[in-house]
Chains A and B, each alone.
Chain A
Amino acid sequence: MNHDDIIKQGTKVYSRPRLMDDRNMHYCPGCSHGVVHKLVSEVLDEMGLENDAIGVAPVGCAVFAYHYIDIDWIEAAHGRAPAVATAAKRLNPERMVFTYQGDGDLAAIGTAETIHAANRGENIVIIFINNGIYGMTGGQMAPTTLEGMKTATTPYGRRVDLNGYPLNITPLLAQLPGTCYVTRQSVHTAATTRKCKNALKKAFKASMEGRGTAVVEVVGTCSSGWKMSPADANKWMEQHMFEAYPPGDLKDTL
């Protein structure tokens, strides 16, 4: 059976999600954002939330998320996505509101907004992409940058005596009574990508049921910022990022 016969007679088991726009994404080759965008589109489509979802885009690489996923979006000021999402959800309680933020947005300038939104138990979902670097502005040190990790602003590696410790914000959010589901996932293999999709589904469902804030951290790569090939960046992430940010559920009250 040749290529064309398989296409004619076979079943299509995977294609680009329906909600993903037919537009080339500006992300660098191999960027984790693309995979997470795809998962969000798939989950929203499967849950029938196409018309009910409101996304809040951050400042960072994912600032153009509204160009790529065909739902309603709001673009928030740097770090203020959880505050904007709070307003959107309180005014439209029947809608599913989620934020999509990077580590520079959520864990640096937006720490206060994030922690207080989670502490108030707003019924929103926070999708947090953690790649330990400010990707968009050229690979500067972020709060989540690992000890000894080389970035544009720490060319000899991050020093604890000078720059402090890496900020592991997800366990902080898990301690708050307002959060209902806090998990850390990754998207570097097909198996972990499927697991991440299930986590997103669970988080969106919890938000629709009004159980509190759900946080899905996705440990990702920034091959341009880390100056590696995408495949090597995935390996490096497994070896080093997972030590500081091990994947798994941190809190599950569902």
Chain B
Amino acid sequence: MAKVIGTVVIDTERCKGCDLCVVACPADVLALARKDVNDRGYHFAMMANADGCIGCAACATVCPDGCIEVYRVVEK
């Protein structure tokens, strides 16, 4: 079966750290930065477990601020 691998690029300056992408991710890839904040003081989202990403775009779909770009590769 073809394996799908994906990755996301997060616009950390636009992110407001609402945590909705973290909840929506079925593969537990995303997490909020614990200590780092962006220029506006929000704990932005980041990939904590990058290998697990399946490129399903659930995080980007629920993101209220449109901060997430999703890329996908199908390995045959």
Contacts and interface: CB of A to CB of B under 8 A. Distances in A.
B61 interface: yes
A14 B14 contact: no
Interface string A188-223: 111001100000000000000000000000000001
Contacts of B17: 29
B18 interface: yes
Contact of B19 (A6, A24, A230): A230
A247 interface: no
B24 A16 contact: no
B66 A16 contact: yes
A9 B23 contact: no
A4 to B, nearest CB: 9
A34 interface: yes
Interface string B33-69: 0000000101000010010000111101111111111
A231 B62 CA distance: 11
A158 to B, nearest CB: 27
A200 B63 CA distance: 18
Contacts of A11: 71-73
A83 B55 CA distance: 44
Nearest to B53: A6
B38 to A, nearest CB: 11
A29 B21 CA distance: 12
Nearest to A5: B73
A192 B72 CA distance: 22
Given A6-B6, A14-B57, A229 B19 contact: yes
A231 B67 CA distance: 17
B65 A189 contact: no
B62 A187 contact: yes
A35 interface: yes
Contacts of B57: 13-14, 190
A119 to B, nearest CB: 33
B70 A14 contact: yes
A15 B69 contact: yes
28 contacts: A3-B47, A6-B5, A6-B72, A10-B6, A11-B71, A12-B69, A12-B71, A13-B6, A13-B70, A15-B60, A16-B66, A27-B64, A29-B64, A30-B16, A30-B19, A30-B20, A33-B64, A34-B65, A38-B64, A187-B62, A189-B24, A190-B24, A190-B61, A194-B61, A229-B19, A230-B18, A230-B20, A231-B19
Interface of B: 5-7, 9, 11, 14, 16-20, 23-24, 40, 42, 47, 50, 55-58, 60-73, 75
